[in-house]
Amino acid sequence: QKREISNFDYLMYLNTLAGRSYNDYMQYPVFPWVLADYHSETLNLTNPHTFRDLSKPMGAQTVERKHKFIQRFNEVEKSEGDLSAQCHYCTHYSSAIIVASYLVRMEPFTQTFCSLQGGSFDVADRMFHSVKSTWESASRDNMSDVRELIPEFFYLPEFLTNANHFELGCMQDGTVLGDVQLPPWADGDPHKFILLHRQALESDYVSAHLHRWIDLIFGHKQHGSAAVEAVNTYHPYFYGDKMDLNNIKDPLIKSTILGFISNFGQIPKQV
């Protein structure tokens, strides 16, 4: 409000307060998608339509997708400690595999990604290869994809290039994976992409609406009735600080929950 701190620094501070850290892939700092325009030749940061709706989670960015997730929520009977528990999303917006997939072109994340994938790269069509197609998957097309971003999208151009010349595979349409495909407004330049993306994060529009996203991820819309209303509930296992593992006597259930969290992510502590 007073322009004494950048939006980037504020988000990093909130992530730290909520227990997120660069030292833990499972609780890596989470940042929002801020743009919805990955097709224009020039980026207009004065047009509200350029931006993602920060008041809604990734699962509710389109009306059709939102209704599908609400339908899923309503169809499942509430059952504690069960994999079919009532929730909107059974996947998470931040997990070890999401972090490693974004940073796969850089070590040590390359090795981390491969170890999480059982020793090799993923199928090429599922690899992070295009900012535009990743946005379309997470905001519209893929019901099991509600991923948000990581801080590197706002300061680190190197993760967008395949400087180590890793053989990442070839997609079904014949595209050989190399550098990440950037939106037209970046002119194929990772440094320009980061510059404009950071300007978008610090823009007046995002400054005026960022608190709504913070409510969803770190605040009062994180769980409970406010989360249900906001179409923002996740599987109970994702709420690590709400699960009292010490009271779970069955070792199978306990290991299932721990495996679930390590594979699929964890909700930040409520700030």
- Domain limits at 19? 7-262
pTM: 0.92
User: Does residue 1 sit within a domain?
Assistant: no
Mean of all residue pLDDT scores within the chain: 91
Lowest mean pLDDT among 37-51, 69-83, 99-113, 139-153: 69-83
User: Does residue 188 sit within a domain?
Assistant: yes
DSSP 8-state assignment for residue 264: H
Which residue has better confidence, 81 or 169?
169
Confidence bin at 183 (pLDDT 50/70/90): very high
Domain count, the chain: 1
User: Does residue 192 sit within a domain?
Assistant: yes
User: Does residue 271 sit within a domain?
Assistant: no
Closest CA to 104 of 83, 121, 86: 121
User: Does residue 268 sit within a domain?
Assistant: no
DSSP string computed for 39-96: S-SS--TT-GGGB--TTS-GGGSSHHHHHHHHHHHHHSPP-TTSTT-S-SBSS-S--H
Lowest mean pLDDT among 45-49, 193-197, 257-261: 257-261
How many whole angstroms separate alpha carbon 28 and alpha carbon 194? 20
**Locus of tokens 């743009």:** 35
Summarised one tens digit per residue, pLDDT across range 197-248 is: 999 999 999 999 999 999 999 999 998 999 999 999 998 888 866 666 667 7
Could you tell me where the DSSP H helices lie in 76-222? Answer: 96-102, 109-116, 131-136, 190-201, 204-217
Angle between helices 7-17 and 190-201 (to 10 degrees): 80
DSSP 8-state assignment for residue 31: B
User: Does residue 61 sit within a domain?
Assistant: yes
User: Does residue 270 sit within a domain?
Assistant: no
Closest CA to 266 of 13, 11, 28: 28
CATH classification of the domain holding 125? 1.10.1540.10
Q: What is the mean pLDDT of residues 44-52?
A: 97
User: Does residue 119 sit within a domain?
Assistant: yes
Which residue has better confidence, 60 or 85?
60
